[in-house]
Amino acid sequence: MEWKVHRARGGPVPRIAPTHMKRRQLLQQLALALAAGAAGAALNVFPPTMRLLPGRVLTLPLAILYGPAFGGIAALLGALPFARVSPVFLIILGAEGLAVGAFARRGRSSLTVGAIVWTLVAGAMAYEPDWFGVGSMGSMIGPLALQRLLNGMVAVVMAELVAVVATASQRRAPEDDAPRLRAYAFHVFILVAILPVLLLSAVNGELFASRQQTDGAARLHEAVTAMGDHIDGYINTHVRAVQALAMAAAHVGADPARRQQLIGRNRTIYDGFVTTFIADRDGIVQQIVPPQPAGRPINPVRDRQYFIEAVRTGNPAISDVIIGRLSHQPIVTIAVPILDANGEPDGVVGGSLNLSKFRKFLEEYRTLPGATITIADQHNRVIYASASSGFAALQNLAQEPIVLASAAADDGLFRYTRQGTDGARTAQLASVGAIGVGWKVFVEQPLVNMRVQTTSYYALTLMLMLLALAGAVLGARGFSGAVTRPLEELVSIVRRVSANGTPALAALDLDPPAEIADLLEDFNTMQTRLANSYHQLEQSLSQRERLNHDLTALTQDLDRKVRERTTELADATHIAEDANRAKSEFLANMSHEIRTPMNGIIGMTELALDTQLTGEQREYLSMVKASADALLAILNDILDFSKIEMHKLELEQLPFSVRDHVAELLKPLALRAEQKGIELICHVLPDVPSVAVGDPGRLRQVLVNLVGNAIKFTERGQILVQVETEALQSGEMRLHYFVSDSGIGIPADKQEQIFQPFKQADGSTTRRFGGTGLGLAISSTLVQLMGGRIWLESSPHEGSTFHFTTTLGVSDARPETIEVDLTSLPALIVDDNPVNRRVLH
Ligand code: ADP
């Protein structure tokens, strides 16, 4: 029912199946339809159940499941066995298959369709019984039609059940969210309620029918026997009457008046005789009652079979049946010979017996519903037949089915199919009985008459069915109210909750069964727990949000503070830089200012040393001179460093001889090395260009510092100064200088920091060797300014090698050294410092 609506609605699945899949499915369904049709046909011809047309239990589910086309094919195939009996059924069953399929497609129950189809069939049967071959049933048509309706429905209901089972076992489409349980329960309730009533009615009908048939057969047999006896009795009575007449005629002799009187009296006793006559030995009729009208000749009877036989045998003879010329009734003539004293036939008494008198006692058997009585003579000619037989008087029945079939009957009971005058065929149950004279009595009834129950029986069954249906509807309502509706409500509650997250507790409108109430309670508990955790989650979320907010505020605050501090720091840096610059400026001024008196001190000391001095004085003054020299060196360093810090150092661009430059600067240093017992070697590689353009003074400063350090930190061994070309391009060259010693070396961890100002490798060395820690800082800055870099390789106790590179210009011109001898030339000395003036003087 309803679930089929949804099944049908959900029908064309959106997914597009490949055509070969579709074709395969169609072929599969066709094969199933053909198989169901064949099986249905086999079931339909199974005789004891034919009235139920049971093959439809197999063919109709196909219509329900696969639609009208396959349903029609299966139904037609299943109905083929009826084509011979009554083509109407071919049409009905085919139409039923189509209708059930079409209705199922629209989601309609096949019960409705079945009820419509079989009500129509029953109506048609009552209205036009001939279509169904039951035209002769008369009053039986009503019950027969009702029986057809009920029998037709049995297979429909069973087919529906088969389809329900088949559908229930199918997988449900995911998009199909119809309330299946309710529809399913409803359907099953109805089927379960109706099926027993229908089956009971069908089974009861069958049992009743077979009992009726047995009873009917017995009744037929009885009727035949009774009729035979009656007819026998009738004929025998009249035979004896004729015998009595013959004896009386013999007794009275050939007296015509007495004979006439005899037959006249006889006729008043036996009114069954149409005529009674006495013929003489030659077959000439002498006396006859009723008397024949005048002028009408009475034919002699000498050539009649009954006369000849009676005379020949001396016994009563009975003629064949004839139709009386005047009475138009079937007549037999009973002939009895009149025997003389010698026992020789002296004439014949004849009585023409009117057989239509049978009708009177045959009428007693009219109570047999639809019974047909036929009486045939020894030549199978009809003596008497009920109007329903369709046989005419004296019709020869020798080739009629009834006679042919009776020949094979053993105890006088047989079945045969009668072909009505209208062509309708009916299955008949018949009984045949023999009558002494060689006649036969046939009594027959349509089989269906015996099988059909009364109208009230079917009406009662129908009523029971309706009652069951009402009960089923009520039951289904009750079930749906008690179980499915609360379940559906529960489902919608769950859906609502899952869709909206409604935190309110759910309650059913209906009073549900305990199981569903428990389920709902569990659901509510679960929902409460869910709501609680949801609440907690929400709380922690809002907490997190608050924290986030705080954090943002904090970050902003921090950011602001950082910016403030940065500004402050920038200011401070600015101030510090200013202070530093002031300091450097102060240092530079200071050094510069101190250098002038220092020159005075050194110059004056030198002058004093040139004078006559005691050994002690000379030693003291020499120490003054050395200290003043050292101090001047420090001052020069500090001045340079200050200049560098204030970015006031500028390089000159002068051509100079690389080799001369090195040689000259090493001269004084070689002296110092020699004093320490160290060998100083200088090696300028041949590929080094002789002339370069740069600042020879600054280059000298770097080299002097490096070589000076080497001498300072080396106790024995040698010092190598080497110059090589690293790169030479047009207009530019890159020279590589290195100073290698065999001194104390520098630990790896100190190698970087010694290039920092005021940093020394080892605090103790300062005390031992002296120095400011500015030399390498100045050198590295100068090397950078000269477009090179400085680095070192060293290991403690093995020695150090300081490398540096410098970019210099290339020049072809030889540097000119102008040497002018100024000795003994008069000079004017101008200086604001009187010490300077004195020194130069
Ligand atoms: P200082 O005036 O102290 O010589 P420098 O900047 O010239 O200042 O040198 C810094 C330090 O580097 C020195 O005090 C010494 O510890 C180390 N140093 C420099 N040259 C050498 C070297 N050739 N061998 C060993 N140590 C050296």
For the stretch 304-351, pLDDT in tens is: 999 999 999 989 999 988 888 777 888 899 999 998 888 888 899 999
Ligand 1 centroid–CA 747 distance in Å is 12
- 702: CA distance to ligand 1 center in Å? 13
794 lines ligand 1 (CB under 6 A): no
* Confidence check: pLDDT of 364 > 80: no
Residue 169's pLDDT is 67
High-pLDDT (> 90) share of the chain, %: 28
Least confident range from 274-278, 529-533, 671-675, 723-727: namely: 529-533
C-alpha of residue 760 to centroid of ligand 1, in Å: 6
> Does residue 196 surpass a pLDDT of 50?
yes
Q: Please, what is the Cα angle at 351 between 345 and 357, to 5 degrees? A: 155
| pLDDT computed for residue 817 by the predictor | 58
In ligand 1, the atom with minimum distance to the C-alpha of 778 is: 6
Does residue 175 carry a pLDDT above 80? no
* Ligand 1 atom nearest to 765, measured from its CA: 16
Q: Which residues contact residue 740 at a Cβ distance below 8 angstroms, ignoring those fewer than 6 apart?
A: 710, 719, 720, 721, 722, 799, 800, 801, 802
Calculate how far, in angstroms, residue 299's C-alpha sits from the geometric centre of ligand 1.
189
Q: Is the beta carbon of 66 within 6 A of some atom in ligand 1?
A: no
Mean pLDDT calculated for residue range 817-823: 64
Q: Mean of the pLDDT values across residues 603-630?
A: 90
pLDDT band at 58 (very low <50, low <70, confident <90, very high): confident
Q: Is 778 touching ligand 1 by the criterion CB < 6 Å?
A: no
Ligand 1 centre from 640 Cα, in Å?
17
By CB neighbour count within 10 A (0-12 exposed, 13-18 middle, 19+ buried), where does 506 fall?
middle
Ligand 1 nearest atom to the CA of residue 755, by list position: 6
Instruction: Give, rounded to a whole angstrom, the gap between the first and last alpha carbons of the chain.
Output: 139
Q: To test ligand 1's pocket by mutation, which of 776, 790, 793 has the most ligand atoms within 8 angstroms of CB?
A: 776
Residue 705 CA, ligand 1 centroid: distance in Å: 9
Residue among 307, 262, 312, 256 nearest 282 (CA): 307
Q: How far is CA 496 from CA 489, 491, 499, in A?
A: 10, 8, 5
Most trustworthy range by pLDDT among 33-47, 97-111, 143-157, 735-749: 735-749
pLDDT at 827 over 80: no
**Closest ligand 1 atom to Cα of 714:** 24
- Is residue 506 pLDDT above 80, yes or no? no
Query: For ligand 1, is residue 710 a contact (CB within 6 Å)?
Result: yes
Tell which atom from ligand 1 comes closest to the C-alpha of 773: 8
pLDDT tens per residue, range 644-662: 877 778 889 999 999 999 9
Q: Is the pLDDT confidence value at 543 over 60? A: yes
Ligand 1 pocket member 76 (CB < 6 A):
no
Where is average pLDDT lowest: 692-696, 780-784, 835-839?
835-839
Ligand 1 atom nearest to CA at 774:
6
In angstroms, rounded to a whole number, what is the distance separating the alpha carbons of residues 392 and 798?
159
> Which ranges constitute the DSSP H helices of 132-179?
141-168
Atom of ligand 1 at shortest range from CA of 743 = 24
How much distance in Å is there from the Cα of 660 to the middle of ligand 1?
26
pLDDT band at 7 (very low <50, low <70, confident <90, very high): very low
Task: Please tell me if the CB atom of residue 760 comes closer than 6 angstroms to any atom of ligand 1.
Answer: yes
Q: Give the span between the Cα atoms of 287 and 734, in whole angstroms.
A: 186
For residue 485, name the pLDDT band (cuts at 50, 70, 90).
confident
Top mean pLDDT of 8-17, 450-459, 656-665 is at: 656-665
- 1 compared with 567, residue with greater pLDDT: 567
> What are 279-282's contacts with CB under 8 Å, separation 24+?
279/307, 279/347, 279/348, 279/350, 280/346, 280/347, 281/311, 281/345, 281/346, 281/347
* Cβ 744 under 6 angstroms from ligand 1: yes
Q: Is the pLDDT of residue 14 over 50?
A: no
CA 761 to centroid of ligand 1, rounded, Å: 7
Q: What distances in angstroms separate CA 667 from CA 671, 682, 699, 793, one per listed residue?
A: 7, 11, 15, 25
Q: What are the C-alpha distances in Å from 619 to residues 608, 672, 715? A: 12, 19, 25
Query: What is the 625 CA–ligand 1 centroid distance (Å)?
Result: 24
What is the pLDDT confidence band of residue 21, given thresholds at 50, 70 and 90? Answer: low
Q: Report the range out of 433-447, 556-570, 812-826 with the highest average pLDDT.
A: 556-570
Q: Is the pLDDT of residue 772 over 80?
A: no
Cα 456 to middle of ligand 1, angstroms: 139
Residue nearest to atom 7 of ligand 1 (CA): 775
Decide: 701 in ligand 1 pocket, CB within 6 A: no
How many angstroms does the Cα of residue 719 sit away from the middle of ligand 1? 15
Query: What does the pLDDT average to over 124-133?
Result: 81
Tell me 736's DSSP state: E
Q: Which residue is closest in CA terms to ligand 1's atom 9?
A: 773
Determine which residue's CA is closest to atom 21 belonging to ligand 1. 709
pLDDT of residue 4: 41
pLDDT at position 171, please? 55
- The pLDDT mean for the chain works out to 83
SS3 label, residue 478:
helix
Find the 755 Cα to ligand 1 centroid distance in Å: 9
Cβ pair 59, 71 in contact under 8 A:
yes
Find the mean pLDDT for residues 591-597: 84
Which residue's CA is the closest to the ligand 1 atom numbered 16? 761
| Residue 243 confidence (pLDDT) above 80 | yes
**How confident is the model at residue 504, as a pLDDT?**
59
String of b and e for 174-198 (b: at least 16 CB within 10 Å)?
eeeebbbbbbbbbbbbbbebbbebb
**Is residue 742 in contact with ligand 1, taking CB distance under 6 Å?**
no
Which residue's alpha carbon is nearest to atom 4 within ligand 1? Answer: 771
pLDDT band for 714, please (50, 70, 90 cuts).
very high
Q: What are phi and psi of 670, to 5 degrees?
A: -65, -35
pLDDT at 15: 46
* pLDDT band, very low/low/confident/very high, at 509 (cuts 50, 70, 90): low
Q: Is the pLDDT of residue 515 over 90?
A: no
761 lines ligand 1 (CB under 6 A): yes
Nearest CA to ligand 1 atom 23: 710
Please tell me the distance from the alpha carbon of residue 6 to that of residue 107, in angstroms, as a whole number.
8
Describe the crossing of helices 658-676 and 696-712 by its angle, rounded to 10 degrees. Answer: 20
The ligand 1 atom nearest the CA atom of 771: 2
Interval between CA 336 and ligand 1 midpoint (Å): 186
Of 760, 790, 803, the one to substitute when testing ligand 1's pocket (max ligand atoms within 8 A of C-beta) is 760
Question: Residue 566's CB: how many other CB atoms inside 10 A?
Answer: 11
pLDDT at residue number 764: 61
Banded pLDDT at 492 (limits 50, 70, 90): confident
Cα-based distances in Å from 361 to 365, 366, 721: 8, 10, 170
Taking the C-alpha atoms of residue 222 and residue 792, their distance in angstroms, rounded to an integer, is 149
| Closest among 810, 789, 815 to 729, alpha carbons compared | 810
CA 775 / ligand 1 centre spacing (Å):
8
CA of 630 to the centre of ligand 1 (A): 16
The first and second tokens of residue 5, run together, are: 């609506």
Nearest CA to ligand 1 atom 8: 773
Residue 337 has a pLDDT of: 94
- The pLDDT, as a whole number, for residue 678 is 93
Mean pLDDT of 260-274: 88
**pLDDT at position 696, please?**
94
Whether 793 shows a pLDDT value over 80: the answer reads: yes
Model confidence band, residue 424 (pLDDT cutoffs 50, 70, 90): low
Q: What is the DSSP letter of 392?
A: P
Q: Lowest mean pLDDT: which of 1-10, 39-48, 111-120, 628-637?
A: 1-10
Determine which residue's CA is closest to atom 19 belonging to ligand 1: 709
Q: In sequence order, which ranges of 725-762 are alpha helices (DSSP H)?
A: none
Q: Using most ligand atoms within 8 A of CB, pick from 676, 702, 754 the residue to mutate for ligand 1.
A: 754
Going through 292-358 in order, the beta strands assigned E by DSSP cover 317-318, 322-323, 330-339, 345-354
Confidence of residue 820 (pLDDT cuts 50, 70, 90): low
